[in-house]
Structure 1
Amino acid sequence: MSSALAEALAQADDPEVIQQLLAAEITSDESAESTNDPQSTLSDLYQRYLNRRTDRSPATRAQYKRTIPTFVDFAADHGITHPHGITTTLIDEFADELFDAYDTDATIATYTKNVRAWLKWLHKRNLCDESTYTLLDKQELGLSPRARDEALPESEARQILSKLRTQRRGSELHAILELLWNTGLRIGEVRALDVSDYRPEVADVSIQHRPETGTRIKNGSAEDNHPGDGERLTELKPSVVKALNHYIRHQRHDVTDEYGREPLFTTRRGRPSRSTLRRWVYEATSCRWRENPDGDTCDGSCDARSNICPHSYYPHAIRRGAIVSQLSNGLSRGKAKERFNVSIPVIEKHYDPRSKPERKEDRAEEVRQAWPDI
């Protein structure tokens, strides 16, 4: 303890002031540590960070242990074991990995918040650049943990699409929601689409795994030794074809990405980020497109200039709603497995809305037809 701190503590009588003085001294001591230790690995530095936070609650420390090592392991898988190897490209790829692995913004926000805090701690020691942790900002990633995660009901989807078709026909909001509600695509799959993947003459889109040119999809390609083949052709209903055709003719920016590819959805700068696509979904499902969200009128607390309100939905809620809707309208689980790239056990656990008697009745006719005549 410095003499200046001792004197300041002797004169302070407010507990909060004393706590602030002690916290400032700890921060000062940490910043004064050697900042160029080439022997400190990311694992070492994570452990040091954890050891310095013994005053945190058990729940908070458990969260550190669950989230930060995920990044350390991810970096190691990419050949990075020391902080000098942390780049903005690595951070972007880590964020993409989280979006592929988890469906809710709240979960992704937990991981990015803790990794961001740790990277900021490293930056204070001159061990990584400021740009690495700022990339994990909640707004930069387009995260909105207050958006809703339940399935978008068919009745609300019908109401939203009806308004978008008349008020924002062919806009990016209209086109992306038509596509998501019909196909149940993941945001990463939407981002991966090129104009050439869309075939209006046969009403389908081709979902392709192209990591070498900047777009990955969940489950990838069977040829890449992934656990499942996410590549597939997905049929489109006529209303989706109309929306996409209008979007391409009147709204799509005629641009290419850094690999010379022509993205289906675009911004003025090229292929949109996942966060941009997520913001479009939040705006497309906000209360402005519904008469009575949740059966009640909006309470007026929404910022009219904002693209997000408490009634907005996560992109995965659109996917979940699309799957539930099509299963409820007769699509078999086997066909849903192929269309949505999801396993039957996951469909049974999370998506199939039918009761056991309803499932039995739905399969009864096919079962009877399959009985041998003996």
Structure 2
Amino acid sequence: MSLEPIDPETALELYLANRETEISQATYYSHNSRLGHFVHWCDEQEIRNLNELTGRQLQHYRLWRRNDGDLSPVTEKTQMDTLRVFIRWLESIDGVPEDLSTKVLSPEITPSQNARDVMLDHEQATAILTHLEKYEYASLEHLTVALLWHTMMRIGCAHALDVEDYHSNEQYLEIHHRPETETPIKNQQDGERLVALSPSVCELINDWLNNKRPFVTDKYGREPLLTTEQGRASISALRSYVYCWSRPCWYGQPCPHDRDPKQCDAIRRDNASKCPSSISPHAIRRGSITHSLGKDMPEKVVSDRANVSQAVIDQHYDQRTERERMEQRREFLE
């Protein structure tokens, strides 16, 4: 096979341009970030032409990435699996030796290692929402946390919502994939769906719209449901609300880490993620899914509502113990 010289930077640019229409924006950014480490390593190693890349060099990169990034086995696997996809694509354009992708090694991990168990449980969710309802009622932060908990939606879906997607009388939300106006959702068109709302959540949204929501549009003329005075609330801002309000000291609970709030670095809003008890939006999703399953909501209903397959629910989201599952099955038998 005759190879055509290609440098790492150009290879990454071509790869991303090729994949841009096939993958979500979030996946695009993830691949760009992960493979950016590989390009940086190539620069350090003075590798200017990927035609000369070898399996041994790929193993050196794996060890460098593991040690330099202090990666967990799960993160290392994700990094190397993305690199394998990249190398396989380079094979297709005669950029690297044939079958080099088979030499990209990644750790073998068990299903239990691959499933994260950090989640917001029902008791914590109730405490947070009760506090917000009392002291921050119908604020943007209150609405954000309430929507994530009650609908199980991903943070990207909440970010993508417009005022017109909310149907007060029929009590539901529409979720749409709109990449052309910078609000893609993870599963693209397959993630589009209608999400039913409870009367209490509708009352909260109505009060937000009638009393608190700024009358602004985004740069595309759309009216975001979750918005600040400056326009649509960014995903990072929505994520920061979750980090902030999941700190026990912020919703009236004693610090479980015996820290003095006056000396704790995590007490500042911009340092909220440093609190050991703070969680990400995905932990709310995981907790909400687990709680719904624990309340006997059928898996198919949870799967459709949360836009996630039942197999993925079993592996990544359902945190019920085997004993809890057995006792639920027993109720049906009786």
Fold match by TM threshold 0.5: yes
TM-score, normalised to structure 1's length? Answer: 0.58
Deviation at 1:162, TM superposition (A): 0.7
Q: Alignment partner of 1:150: what SS?
A: coil
Q: Deviations over 1:127-181 (max 9, x none)?
A: xxxxxxxxxxxxxxxxxxxxx9711011111111111100111111111111111
Unaligned runs of 5+ in 2: 13-37, 48-56, 70-75, 94-113
Q: Deviations over 1:220-252 (max 9, x none)?
A: 11xxxxxxx211111112222222222222322
Does structure 2 conserve the Cα–Cα contact (< 8 Å) formed by 1:149 and 1:316? no
Map of 2:31 onto structure 1: none
Map of 1:357 onto structure 2: 326
Map of 2:247 onto structure 1: 286
Alpha-carbon distance between aligned partners in 1 of 2:65 and 2:259, rounded to the nearest angstrom: 38
Alpha-carbon distance between aligned partners in 1 of 2:332 and 2:259, rounded to the nearest angstrom: 42
1:329 aligns with 2:295: yes
Does structure 2 conserve the Cα–Cα contact (< 8 Å) formed by 1:293 and 1:311? no
Alpha-carbon distance between aligned partners in 2 of 1:67 and 1:320, rounded to the nearest angstrom: 23
1:60 aligns with 2:64: yes
Q: Are the structure 2 counterparts of residues 164 and 297 from structure 1 closer, same or farther at C-alpha, using a change threshold of 3 Å?
A: farther
Q: Are the structure 2 counterparts of residues 69 and 236 from structure 1 closer, same or farther at C-alpha, using a change threshold of 3 Å?
A: same
Matches within 5 A, 1:158-173: 158-173=126-141
The alignment yields a C-alpha RMSD, in angstroms, of 3.5
Map of 2:28 onto structure 1: none
The code of the aligned residue for 1:232 comes to: R
Q: Alignment partner of 2:194: what SS?
A: strand
1:49 aligns with 2:80: no
1:251 aligns with 2:174: no
Match of 1:314 among 276, 280, 297: 280
1:210 aligns with 2:173: no
Deviation at 1:60, TM superposition (A): 2.7
* Percent identity over paired residues: 37
Alpha-carbon distance between aligned partners in 2 of 1:277 and 1:269, rounded to the nearest angstrom: 14
Does structure 2 conserve the Cα–Cα contact (< 8 Å) formed by 1:206 and 1:234? yes
The code of the aligned residue for 2:184 comes to: R
Q: Alignment partner of 1:201: what SS?
A: coil
Matches within 5 A, 1:41-190: 42=9, 43=11, 46=39, 48-49=42-43, 51-52=45-46, 59-61=63-65, 67=79, 150-190=118-158
Deviation at 1:290, TM superposition (A): 3.3
The code of the aligned residue for 1:184 comes to: M
Unaligned runs of 5+ in 1: 1-37, 82-106, 108-147, 222-228, 366-374
Deviation at 1:298, TM superposition (A): 4.9
The code of the aligned residue for 1:344 comes to: Q
Instruction: Please identify, of 257-266 and 148-157, the stretch whose mean Cα deviation from structure 2 is larger.
Output: 148-157
Deviation at 1:208, TM superposition (A): 0.8
1:305 aligns with 2:260: no
Deviation at 1:67, TM superposition (A): 4.4
Q: Are the structure 2 counterparts of residues 69 and 171 from structure 1 closer, same or farther at C-alpha, using a change threshold of 3 Å?
A: same
Does structure 1 conserve the Cα–Cα contact (< 8 Å) formed by 2:131 and 2:252? no
Q: Deviations over 1:18-67 (max 9, x none)?
A: xxxxxxxxxxxxxxxxxxxx97452389273252599x886333578964
Q: Which one has a bigger Cα radius of gyration?
A: 1
Q: Alignment partner of 2:290: what SS?
A: helix
1:275 aligns with 2:236: yes
Does structure 2 conserve the Cα–Cα contact (< 8 Å) formed by 1:199 and 1:205? yes
Does structure 1 conserve the Cα–Cα contact (< 8 Å) formed by 2:245 and 2:251? no
Alpha-carbon distance between aligned partners in 1 of 2:317 and 2:279, rounded to the nearest angstrom: 17
Instruction: Please identify, of 292-301 and 184-193, the stretch whose mean Cα deviation from structure 2 is larger.
Output: 292-301
The code of the aligned residue for 1:218 comes to: K
Does structure 2 conserve the Cα–Cα contact (< 8 Å) formed by 1:173 and 1:283? no
Does structure 2 conserve the Cα–Cα contact (< 8 Å) formed by 1:149 and 1:314? no
Q: Alignment partner of 2:173: what SS?
A: strand
Alpha-carbon distance between aligned partners in 1 of 2:292 and 2:276, rounded to the nearest angstrom: 26
TM-score, normalised to structure 2's length? Answer: 0.65
Alpha-carbon distance between aligned partners in 2 of 1:155 and 1:207, rounded to the nearest angstrom: 28
Deviation at 1:317, TM superposition (A): 0.4
Alpha-carbon distance between aligned partners in 1 of 2:288 and 2:253, rounded to the nearest angstrom: 21
Does structure 1 conserve the Cα–Cα contact (< 8 Å) formed by 2:249 and 2:255? no
Q: Are the structure 2 counterparts of residues 250 and 58 from structure 1 closer, same or farther at C-alpha, using a change threshold of 3 Å?
A: same
Q: Alignment partner of 1:206: what SS?
A: strand
Matches within 5 A, 1:209-248: 209-221=177-189, 229-248=190-209
Q: Give the count of matched residue pairs.
A: 251
The code of the aligned residue for 1:358 comes to: E
Instruction: Please identify, of 189-198 and 305-314, the stretch whose mean Cα deviation from structure 2 is larger.
Output: 305-314
Does structure 2 conserve the Cα–Cα contact (< 8 Å) formed by 1:328 and 1:354? no
Q: Alignment partner of 2:195: what SS?
A: strand
